[in-house]
Amino acid sequence: MQNKILVIKHGALGDIVLATGPFQAIRKHHPDAHITLLTTKPYMEMMRNSGYFDEIWVDSRPKIYNIFEFIRLIEKIRHAGFSRIYDLQTSERTGWYHKFMPSPKPEWVGTAVGASHRHDTPERTKLHTVERQKQQLAIAGIHEPFTPDLSWLKASIGRFNLPKNFALIVAGGSAHRTGKRWPAHNYGIISTWLATNGVTPVLIGTHSEEIVISTIETICSDTINLLGQTSFAELAELARHARCAVGNDTGPMHIIAITGCPSLILFSQFSDPLLCAPRGKSVKIIHEQVLAKLSPEKVIVWMKDYITNIGEQYDQLKNRR
């Protein structure tokens, strides 16, 4: 009988990107197993194309008090016959999943009380997500080196008809955590500086960030607005062709950074880059407690390095891809 493995990772986007290393390591460790991912709907298609999983299940995350839906999910997991479950979400919710699994329970790699491979080291909450997941997998006997990877996430971006020199501007972020956003008018100043130096600012975001994008466009008319037009794969491809990217601590910056695009990510007091910063070959973090106090001039100093000093080298790098 074929070995069956379940991996649980709901999101959010940045967490999914950072988990691609563990996904790859689990696949290498269980090369002949049938591996299922339990995730949320926004990431279903993206992860289906990764090659790490044989099957994708969508978790609607029913409330505990919605007992029928909750038990239905538990029963689905139980009847699938998984021999091991890798809980990379390690949330209170997934702890309840383990608790309600009838005995004999499958092997469980996570933080749930009673898990066969419990990750409860004192320092785990002080580790970056990548290092924490490496430690978690090591407890289960997986020691393969891994890093987040989206090399498989590809798309055509010809329909956008972009100029050769462009930079990505990711000025949005969580609507309920506006303190994580650098003021939109500052992105307008940055966009004006880019346009003046021959680099077209390309604005990335969702429709919920329309006000932010329109503020930037009011200040700088020489932008390209791709609001609500980019899939995850198209965003990755845009990043591979962009000269650089600037943005807040938000999911799309994880995709952009991991492609190798020179990326400047702005962090505030509301998140700790030591725990969750995007990973990539060329990532710069500016951590300002109150982002409104970060001057555009400080950001421009960083951008000059990529646009003037090493622009030619970066063009050569892109041509080799």
Mean pLDDT of 280-309: 88
What Å distances lie between residue 144 and 7, 9, 29, 233, 313, CA to CA?
A: 17, 20, 8, 26, 32
Domain-ending residue, one of 80, 108, 139: 139
Rounded Cα distance between 184 and 191, Å, is 10
The mean pLDDT value for 265-271 works out to 95
pLDDT digits (tens, 9 = 90+) for 75-113: 999 999 999 999 999 999 999 999 999 899 999 999 999
Tell me the three state secondary structure of residue 124: helix
Residues 12 and 133 in one domain: yes
171 with 222, same domain: the answer is yes
Torsion of CA 239, 241, 243, 246, to 10 degrees: -20
Long-range contacts of range 43-49, CB-CB < 8 Å, 24 or more positions apart?
43/11, 43/13, 43/16, 46/16, 46/153, 46/232, 46/233, 47/16, 47/23, 49/152, 49/153, 49/233
Q: Looking at residue 222, what DSSP letter applies?
A: S
Query: How does pLDDT run across 38-58, given as a tens digit for each residue?
Result: 999 999 999 999 999 999 999
* Co-location of 124 and 177 in the same domain: no
Segment among 101-105, 148-152, 154-158, 273-277 with least mean pLDDT: 101-105
The residue assigned the tokens 């601590």 is 249
- CA–CA separation, 19 and 15 (whole Å): 6
User: Does any domain span residue 280?
Assistant: yes
Residue type, 214: S
CATH code of the domain containing 276: 3.40.50.2000
Backbone angles phi and psi of 166, in degrees to 5: -145, 160
Which pLDDT score, from 0 to 100, does residue 317 have?
42
Of the candidates 245, 247, 244, the residue with the CA atom closest to the CA atom of residue 181: 247
Task: Say whether both 164 and 22 belong to one domain.
Answer: no
Q: 109 and 37: one domain?
A: yes
Domain final position from 109, 139, 169? 139
Q: Are residues 301 and 165 in the same domain?
A: yes
